[in-house]
A and B are shown apart, each in its own frame.
Chain A
């Protein structure tokens, strides 16, 4: 089926505004991950969902960041009161969730966020 999709592909916002980023994982994948990639940098883990278990939020950089996953499928990453340092590409990935959190991950195209 279709791969991981993310929307919007690009988002420009003003400092202080809230933004919501959406991720649609591959159908049937129970594990979902969010990463942040600043320009030219590596992947910074943000949060991990596995089925109905409590998410691993250990990578969220501040309490302005939150994420939810409704119905075990679509996920939304919310950034409140955006700051310029939040500008980055936000990548979502999913995996089957049958072999633990270290399965092959399938990445979406990302949302490029620019905070002015």
Chain B
């Protein structure tokens, strides 16, 4: 079945440093979604990418969908303590989403 791998599993950064998490699928995706889960909270939808090579920005967050629609990345510029949490990608295959295991981001003030 479809598998979605996400790296790194953990990332510790100093406040102000950049952060990137990568997502790779074993199969071509219809779309990819990104979710953020704050500590003690539940996953909250951030964005959806549909087109090959698509790039979307939300303030300091930049999301990219690969040309082959099998990989994606989330880049955060100049991290802040409010960015702390686990970021999940979720790949849409034939009929359902498959979530990656997430990247847990810690920001050291």
CA–CA, A106 to B46, complex, Å? 11
B100 within 8 A of A: yes
Say whether chain A's binding surface is mostly helix, strand, loop, or mixed.
Answer: loop
Main secondary structure of the interface of B (DSSP, over half): strand
Asked whether any CB of chain B lies closer than 8 Å to the CB of A109, the reply is: yes
Complex Cα spacing A42 to B7, Å: 12
**B48 neighbours in A (Cβ, 8 Å):** 104
Complex CA distance for A93 and B95, rounded to whole angstroms: 16
Please tell me if the beta carbons of A104 and B45 are within 8 angstroms of each other in the complex: yes
B21 CB, min distance to chain A CBs, angstroms: 13
B100→A102 contact, CB < 8 A: no
Residues of chain A whose beta carbon lies under 8 Å from any beta carbon of chain B: 35, 40-43, 45, 48, 56, 91, 93, 100-102, 104-110
For this complex, 10 residue pairs linking A to B, each with C-beta atoms less than 8 Å apart, are A41-B101, A42-B99, A42-B100, A42-B101, A43-B43, A43-B102, A101-B92, A101-B95, A102-B33, A107-B43
